[in-house]
Amino acid sequence: MGVKGEETRARLIAGTRNLIEAQGYFGTGLNQIVAQSGAPRGSLYFHFPEGKDQLVAAALAQAGQEVEELLRTPVGRSPEATALVDRLVEVFIARLEESDYSKGCPVATVGLEVAGSNEPLRRVCAEVYASWQLVLTERLTAQGFGPAEAETASGQALAVLEGAVLLARVRRDRRPLEDARHAVRHLLGAKKM
Protein backbone atom coordinates (compact mmCIF):
# COMPACT_ATOMS: atom_id res chain seq x y z
CA MET A 1 0.00 0.00 0.00
CA GLY A 2 1.35 3.39 -0.94
CA VAL A 3 1.62 6.48 1.21
CA LYS A 4 -1.68 7.85 -0.06
CA GLY A 5 -3.42 4.55 0.72
CA GLU A 6 -1.96 4.51 4.23
CA GLU A 7 -3.09 8.09 4.78
CA THR A 8 -6.61 7.25 3.60
CA ARG A 9 -6.75 4.20 5.85
CA ALA A 10 -5.52 6.29 8.79
CA ARG A 11 -8.16 8.96 8.11
CA LEU A 12 -10.90 6.31 8.04
CA ILE A 13 -9.74 4.90 11.36
CA ALA A 14 -9.44 8.36 12.94
CA GLY A 15 -12.90 9.37 11.73
CA THR A 16 -14.40 6.15 13.00
CA ARG A 17 -12.72 6.50 16.36
CA ASN A 18 -13.94 10.07 16.74
CA LEU A 19 -17.51 9.13 15.88
CA ILE A 20 -17.82 5.92 17.90
CA GLU A 21 -16.41 7.60 20.97
CA ALA A 22 -18.96 10.39 20.78
CA GLN A 23 -21.97 8.56 19.29
CA GLY A 24 -21.33 4.89 20.00
CA TYR A 25 -21.33 1.96 17.64
CA PHE A 26 -25.03 2.03 16.75
CA GLY A 27 -25.12 5.83 16.41
CA THR A 28 -22.34 5.82 13.83
CA GLY A 29 -23.07 5.07 10.20
CA LEU A 30 -20.75 4.44 7.29
CA ASN A 31 -21.88 7.63 5.53
CA GLN A 32 -20.86 9.62 8.60
CA ILE A 33 -17.47 7.89 8.66
CA VAL A 34 -16.85 8.70 5.01
CA ALA A 35 -17.89 12.32 5.57
CA GLN A 36 -15.81 12.66 8.76
CA SER A 37 -12.70 11.16 7.19
CA GLY A 38 -12.99 12.89 3.83
CA ALA A 39 -12.10 9.59 2.18
CA PRO A 40 -13.79 8.33 -0.99
CA ARG A 41 -16.51 5.78 -0.22
CA GLY A 42 -14.78 3.15 -2.35
CA SER A 43 -11.72 3.46 -0.12
CA LEU A 44 -13.71 2.30 2.85
CA TYR A 45 -14.38 -1.10 1.31
CA PHE A 46 -10.93 -1.29 -0.26
CA HIS A 47 -9.24 -0.92 3.14
CA PHE A 48 -11.97 -2.61 5.18
CA PRO A 49 -13.64 -5.21 2.96
CA GLU A 50 -15.54 -6.65 5.93
CA GLY A 51 -17.22 -3.29 6.51
CA LYS A 52 -18.10 -1.39 9.64
CA ASP A 53 -17.10 -4.02 12.19
CA GLN A 54 -13.61 -4.35 10.74
CA LEU A 55 -13.21 -0.58 10.74
CA VAL A 56 -14.50 -0.22 14.31
CA ALA A 57 -12.18 -3.03 15.43
CA ALA A 58 -9.21 -1.17 13.91
CA ALA A 59 -10.26 2.07 15.64
CA LEU A 60 -10.63 0.30 19.00
CA ALA A 61 -7.28 -1.45 18.61
CA GLN A 62 -5.58 1.86 17.81
CA ALA A 63 -7.15 3.58 20.82
CA GLY A 64 -6.18 0.65 23.01
CA GLN A 65 -2.61 0.71 21.74
CA GLU A 66 -2.28 4.41 22.54
CA VAL A 67 -3.34 3.88 26.15
CA GLU A 68 -1.11 0.81 26.46
CA GLU A 69 1.87 2.83 25.22
CA LEU A 70 0.98 5.59 27.68
CA LEU A 71 0.96 3.02 30.49
CA ARG A 72 4.27 1.51 29.36
CA THR A 73 6.09 4.84 29.21
CA PRO A 74 7.78 5.72 32.51
CA VAL A 75 6.62 8.88 34.23
CA GLY A 76 9.78 10.81 34.94
CA ARG A 77 11.79 8.89 37.49
CA SER A 78 8.79 7.25 39.13
CA PRO A 79 8.41 3.51 38.60
CA GLU A 80 5.22 3.50 40.65
CA ALA A 81 1.96 2.37 39.09
CA THR A 82 0.23 5.27 40.83
CA ALA A 83 2.19 7.71 38.64
CA LEU A 84 0.83 5.93 35.55
CA VAL A 85 -2.69 6.12 36.92
CA ASP A 86 -2.29 9.83 37.59
CA ARG A 87 -1.21 10.37 34.00
CA LEU A 88 -4.08 8.24 32.66
CA VAL A 89 -6.60 10.19 34.75
CA GLU A 90 -5.19 13.46 33.37
CA VAL A 91 -5.56 12.14 29.81
CA PHE A 92 -9.16 11.11 30.44
CA ILE A 93 -9.98 14.46 32.07
CA ALA A 94 -8.44 16.36 29.16
CA ARG A 95 -10.40 14.28 26.60
CA LEU A 96 -13.63 14.84 28.46
CA GLU A 97 -13.17 18.56 28.98
CA GLU A 98 -11.87 19.26 25.46
CA SER A 99 -14.90 17.50 23.99
CA ASP A 100 -17.40 19.09 26.39
CA TYR A 101 -17.90 15.62 27.89
CA SER A 102 -18.94 13.98 24.64
CA LYS A 103 -15.84 11.73 24.61
CA GLY A 104 -14.03 9.71 27.21
CA CYS A 105 -13.00 6.22 26.20
CA PRO A 106 -14.02 4.67 22.88
CA VAL A 107 -13.46 1.15 24.21
CA ALA A 108 -15.94 1.67 27.04
CA THR A 109 -18.47 3.38 24.76
CA VAL A 110 -18.49 0.55 22.23
CA GLY A 111 -18.01 -2.20 24.79
CA LEU A 112 -21.15 -1.21 26.68
CA GLU A 113 -23.17 -1.34 23.47
CA VAL A 114 -21.92 -4.53 21.86
CA ALA A 115 -20.90 -6.86 24.72
CA GLY A 116 -24.08 -8.90 24.39
CA SER A 117 -24.66 -8.72 20.66
CA ASN A 118 -21.40 -8.58 18.71
CA GLU A 119 -18.90 -11.24 19.72
CA PRO A 120 -16.00 -10.10 17.48
CA LEU A 121 -16.11 -6.53 18.79
CA ARG A 122 -16.64 -7.72 22.36
CA ARG A 123 -13.43 -9.73 21.98
CA VAL A 124 -11.54 -6.69 20.68
CA CYS A 125 -12.68 -4.67 23.71
CA ALA A 126 -11.73 -7.54 26.05
CA GLU A 127 -8.28 -7.80 24.44
CA VAL A 128 -7.70 -4.07 24.83
CA TYR A 129 -8.64 -4.16 28.50
CA ALA A 130 -6.49 -7.26 29.03
CA SER A 131 -3.48 -5.46 27.53
CA TRP A 132 -3.97 -2.48 29.87
CA GLN A 133 -4.37 -4.77 32.86
CA LEU A 134 -1.22 -6.69 31.93
CA VAL A 135 0.85 -3.49 31.91
CA LEU A 136 -0.44 -2.47 35.33
CA THR A 137 0.02 -6.02 36.65
CA GLU A 138 3.64 -6.04 35.50
CA ARG A 139 4.27 -2.68 37.15
CA LEU A 140 2.67 -3.77 40.43
CA THR A 141 4.63 -7.02 40.43
CA ALA A 142 7.82 -4.99 40.01
CA GLN A 143 6.70 -2.89 42.99
CA GLY A 144 6.51 -5.95 45.21
CA PHE A 145 2.93 -7.18 44.85
CA GLY A 146 2.54 -10.93 44.49
CA PRO A 147 1.42 -12.02 40.99
CA ALA A 148 -2.16 -12.85 41.99
CA GLU A 149 -2.51 -9.69 44.08
CA ALA A 150 -1.08 -7.57 41.28
CA GLU A 151 -3.55 -8.99 38.79
CA THR A 152 -6.48 -8.42 41.14
CA ALA A 153 -5.41 -4.88 42.02
CA SER A 154 -4.84 -3.93 38.37
CA GLY A 155 -8.30 -5.25 37.44
CA GLN A 156 -9.87 -3.31 40.27
CA ALA A 157 -8.01 -0.15 39.24
CA LEU A 158 -9.22 -0.41 35.65
CA ALA A 159 -12.79 -1.03 36.77
CA VAL A 160 -12.71 2.04 39.00
CA LEU A 161 -11.17 4.23 36.29
CA GLU A 162 -13.50 3.13 33.49
CA GLY A 163 -16.50 3.52 35.79
CA ALA A 164 -15.29 6.99 36.68
CA VAL A 165 -15.02 7.93 32.98
CA LEU A 166 -18.65 6.91 32.53
CA LEU A 167 -19.80 8.86 35.60
CA ALA A 168 -17.77 11.92 34.61
CA ARG A 169 -19.25 11.87 31.14
CA VAL A 170 -22.83 11.44 32.38
CA ARG A 171 -22.46 14.07 35.11
CA ARG A 172 -20.40 16.36 32.88
CA ASP A 173 -18.00 16.79 35.75
CA ARG A 174 -14.39 15.74 36.34
CA ARG A 175 -15.03 14.95 40.01
CA PRO A 176 -15.63 11.20 39.53
CA LEU A 177 -12.18 10.90 37.94
CA GLU A 178 -10.57 12.91 40.74
CA ASP A 179 -12.28 10.62 43.26
CA ALA A 180 -11.19 7.55 41.28
CA ARG A 181 -7.61 8.81 41.22
CA HIS A 182 -7.64 8.98 45.01
CA ALA A 183 -9.20 5.52 45.36
CA VAL A 184 -6.81 3.88 42.88
CA ARG A 185 -3.76 5.57 44.42
CA HIS A 186 -4.82 4.11 47.76
CA LEU A 187 -5.46 0.68 46.24
CA LEU A 188 -2.20 0.53 44.30
CA GLY A 189 -0.15 2.08 47.06
CA ALA A 190 -1.15 -0.67 49.48
CA LYS A 191 1.92 -2.83 48.69
CA LYS A 192 1.85 -6.59 49.04
CA MET A 193 -1.79 -7.06 49.87
Domain ranges for the chain:
52-189
> Could you report the average pLDDT of every consecutive run of 10 residues in the chain (193 residues)?
82 95 94 92 92 96 94 74 88 95 93 95 97 93 93 96 96 97 87 42
Q: What is the pLDDT of residue 78?
A: 65
Q: What is the pLDDT of residue 76?
A: 63
Q: Which class does domain 52-189 fall in?
A: mainly alpha
pTM of the shown model: 0.90
Distances (CA, A) of 107 to 14, 26, 59, 64, 69: 14, 14, 9, 7, 15
| Nearest residue to 70 via CA among 83, 59, 60, 58 | 83
148 vs 89: CA distance, rounded Å: 25
The answer to whether the beta carbons of residues 108 and 166 sit under 8 Å apart is: yes
Packing angle of the helix pair 106-114, 147-171 (nearest 10 deg): 90
